[in-house]
Structure formats: structure tokens, C-alpha cells
Amino acid sequence: MELNEIADYNFETALSILETESISSEEKKKIEKDGLKVALEGINRIRERSKELISELKSLNEKTFGDFQIVINDFSSNLFKLNNTEELSKQRINLAKQKAKEEFNEQVSNVKTGITNVIPIVISKSKSLYHLILTKVFKLSESIGLSSKAKEATEEILDYIVETEKQISKLPIVYQRLFKNQPVEEDRFFIGRKQELQVINKAYLNWIKNKFSPAVIVSEKGAGASSLTNMAKKQIEKTYQVIHVKLSINIYQPDIFLQLISEKLGLEPVSNFEELIKSINSLASKKVIIIENIEALFLRTVNGFEVLKMFFQMLSLTNKKIFWIATCNKYAWDYLDKVLSIEDYFAYHVEFEKFSDTEIKDIIMKRHNMSGYKLNFLPSKADLENKQFKKLNEEQKKNFLRNEFFEELNEISQSNVGLAQLFWLRSITSLSNNQINISSLSNIDFSFLKSISKAKVFSLYALLIHDGLTIEQHAKVFNISTDESKLLLYTMHDDGEIVLKDNIYRVNFLLYVHTIKLLKVQNILH
């Protein structure tokens, strides 16, 4: 099964390269060469993996039959011994000894468990005290001019971003494509979130029964909300037409919103909200609308919530004709719930549960296995100095390093699939002989955002809850001139804290998890 998926994905990647449009004959030759190279590399990895599988099967056969023969011989020998009464007495004594030993071990284990439970609490409290003292020392040194952390932070941020992009760009095309940060559209990549999908299905079934059933998916950026809507869409579109709207720009003007909905539903242009509702309810057939990123329907200014309020009314007034599924940024949702009690407007709420370490491992390994590359987890300096680690055999060391890595990965990414994939790529140190080497995540320092200015911090928060702003929108939110907004956003862009695409500034996804932690430390997020 694994070999089949390796072949399928590698050839699919090669074909996607060959289908790239070229202008000149030279470009065409290069495209053909690159496509052929990817296909041949895939074939070679399949051949190597086939050889390994054959060798493993032979070894397994020999070991299985060898072990089986030993067990049968041993069992036969013991049966003969049990005929001897003296031997039976010995067996009873041995059993009594074993029972006593087990009782003693159980008592020792209970003591160890007690100690083990106490130690983490002591360590946790020590760490908290250490960080509290460190924070106070840092603030004091900054206030009296002894710290130049702001400059150092900027340099560290840029170094981190450049190094990450550099490492990712060196990876094979197949591997980059496998871990590209984009919504899942194929069932083979959709792992977990079955429970969340069931909630959407329940809402859909109730809507068919004419019950009020608008559903909303609340999650962090990159956590998989778009993937979930794609899977829901695949199921629903077998029965009803599904209109999928992905809001990539901020729409807080009522006329633009009315125009957008009318166009998506194929309706005649309308001049006001009442006309649109009447047109929707006059539709010949029921439809389903998935609208992603409803945080784009407001601007945190006076009168900046009109479109969002209009949208909430629409949910209620068109429920019999439209099954609405919406997605919202978790931090925008928290803000809007405090301001508008947004939760009351949806009958079903899907909030993502955290993935277990095993689920994160399955998500990453599913993609990795399709590449055909072998994998090697490298020990950190702490691992190499660990006495218990040194005592393990090679197989135990591999399992220990693998489990340790995915535990750290889930902790750092906070169960965010997009971030987990990004940090996975960031942790790749080298690739040789069809083997990818993965370094420990404990080697990466994530503390470099802690000393940026207050103006930057509040701008990061605004960009986070709106999922991006233009210069003009930023100026409106903070009630400052466009020149002031330009100066601040240009600086943040130059420092690598935010990125620019289609005139919209967004939090750099490479720094997403660090930004969340920074805003929580400063009590801006709760």
C-alpha cells in the first residue's frame, strides 16, 4: 500500500511539473528535464524500499520459524519434566517466589510513582519563579538603558525566517508539495476531525428537516477549518448545490456585501438588504453556502460592524432556503463574542479539540511515507548526555527519539496542523542517500518576539483578529493617518514580523505561534 502511494504521488508531481506552461523552447526543455528527474527519483526510492521490504520479509520468516521451533522444543521438554513429582514441587516454590517478588515490585513502583508525581510540580513551580524573576530583571535592565534587546530581537526574527525559508527551498519538489500549507481536498490526507465532521452532518440533517441549523467552525489559522469544509462539501454536494465563498479581503461596506452574495447565488443586482432576502427566499431550489473567514465582514471601528450584523440577520431569515456553514478565526470569534454575543446566531458550533501526539504523528507520517524517503531522528545534546538514553539499544533509541519529537512538535504547534507541518520542514537538517535527517525541536529558540514595541504588539493583534488589513484599514482601526500606518507597517514588514500579499498585511505564519504567546503574555489575548 505504501509503495503504491509513493508511486502515485511522485508521478502526480512529475505530471504537474510537465503541465506547467512554458514560453520559450529552453523553458520547455528545463520543465521536461525537471519532470523526468522527479519521476526517476521516485522510481529509485520505490526500488530501494522494495529491496528493504524483501529483506525484512526474509528476516521475519527466518526469525519466526526459528523462534517457533525453540518454543515447541522447550514446551515438549517442560511437559516431560512435569511428570516428575519432585519437579512439580519445585514449580510451586518458584511460583511462590515469583508472587512475593511481584508484590515487592508493586510496592516499590507505588513509591516511585509518588515521587514521580511530586517532581514535575516542583520543577514547574521552579520554572515559573525563574521566568518571573527573569522578566523583572529584563524590564529593569531595559528601563535603565542596559538592554539592547529590541535590535537583537529584530535580527533573530530575520535570521529565523531566512534560515527556515532557506531550509525548505532546498528540499525535493515532491517533499515541498506534500507539506505545502494548503487545505486538504483528498480523503487520503484527511486524518482526525471525524467528530467535528459529524457535528456539521448533524446540522445539515436538521436543516433538511427545516430546523434552524447554521453552523460555524471556530479555529486558529492553519488548524484545518478549510479542510473540514472541503470534506463536508464533498458529502453535501451529492444532494444540493454548494456555493463556496472564501473571503480573502475585508468587506465591511454593506453595498459590496450585497453585491457579493447576489453574484454568488446568480441573482439579479439588488439595491438593499430586504430585496436580497426576498430574492433568496424565492429561489427555485435549496442551496448550501460555505462562507470562510467571517472575520473579514467587520472592521474594528465605529459603524464597522454593519455587514456582520446584516449577515447574522441573513442566517435567520433565509434558513429554509440556505444551509449556512461559516468559519471564523478563533481570536476574532472571542473578540466578537464579547462585543456582539456572536455565539447566539449559530445553532451549531464546531471548536477543534487538540490533537494527541499520536494523531499529529499520523498526519505527518502519512505525508512523509508517500515521499518514499527514509527517516532518521537525530538526538539532541540533552539526549546524548542522558544516562538512561545511553543504555537503550538502537531500536529503543529510535522509538524514544521519534516519540520525543512528536510530543515536542504537538506542544510547539499547539495542535495546529499547518504549523506542525511547517515546523516539521524547519526541523529537517539534511538529506542524503534517500534519507531525511530530523533534528530535535528543542534546538530552536522561540523567545525572540518578547521585546518588540507596544505599537507593533497592538498592530499584530489587529492583524490577527481581522486576518489581515490594508494600510488604509489599519489607519482607520487605530484612528491615525495613513502615513503613520505606512511607517509602522513598512517597518514591521522589513523586520519580518508581517508579510504583504495583494496589498494586505498579515501576521507572518512562521511567527504565528510566537505572536499568540506574546499577546497572551501581555494580557491582550486570554
**Last residue of one domain, picked from the residues 311, 335, 351:** 351
Kindly list the distances between the CA atom of residue 85 and the CA atoms of 81, 89, 90, 91, 98, in Å, as whole numbers in the listed order.
9, 7, 9, 10, 20
**Last residue of one domain, picked from the residues 396, 426, 443:** 443
For residues 320 and 427, membership in a common domain is answered with: no
What pLDDT is attached to residue 193? 85
CATH number for the domain including 489? 1.10.10.10
**Which residues neighbour 271 within 8 Å (Cβ) at sequence distance 6 or greater?**
none
For residues 201 and 347, membership in a common domain is answered with: yes
Kindly list the distances between the CA atom of residue 333 and the CA atoms of 82, 260, 313, 328, in Å, as whole numbers in the listed order.
72, 22, 17, 6
For residues 372 and 482, membership in a common domain is answered with: no
For residues 54 and 173, membership in a common domain is answered with: no
* 132 assigned to some structural domain: no
* 492 assigned to some structural domain: yes
Tally the domains of the chain: 4
For residues 394 and 453, membership in a common domain is answered with: no
Residue 511's closest CA among 462, 445, 427? 445
What pLDDT is attached to residue 70? 83
* 307 assigned to some structural domain: yes
Query: In terms of residue numbers, what domain contains 168?
Result: 162-183+356-443
Q: Contacts by 251-260 with C-beta closer than 8 Å and gap 24+?
A: 251/296, 251/297, 251/307, 252/297, 252/298, 252/299, 252/304, 252/305, 252/306, 252/307, 252/308, 253/307, 254/306, 254/307, 254/310, 257/297, 257/307, 257/310, 257/311
* 231 assigned to some structural domain: yes
Segment-wise mean pLDDT, segments of 10 residues, the chain, 526 residues: 76 80 75 82 82 83 80 72 58 64 63 52 45 40 39 61 78 85 81 88 94 94 89 92 93 94 93 94 94 95 93 95 95 93 94 87 90 89 88 91 91 86 87 86 63 89 94 95 95 89 91 86 85
CATH number for the domain including 201? 3.40.50.300
For residues 201 and 328, membership in a common domain is answered with: yes
For residues 309 and 257, membership in a common domain is answered with: yes
* 126 assigned to some structural domain: no
**Last residue of one domain, picked from the residues 351, 366, 385:** 351
For residues 363 and 505, membership in a common domain is answered with: no
For residues 178 and 210, membership in a common domain is answered with: no
For residues 400 and 487, membership in a common domain is answered with: no
* 38 assigned to some structural domain: yes
What pLDDT is attached to residue 254? 94
* 279 assigned to some structural domain: yes
For residues 312 and 414, membership in a common domain is answered with: no
For residues 226 and 343, membership in a common domain is answered with: yes
pTM for the complete prediction?
A: 0.72
* 366 assigned to some structural domain: yes
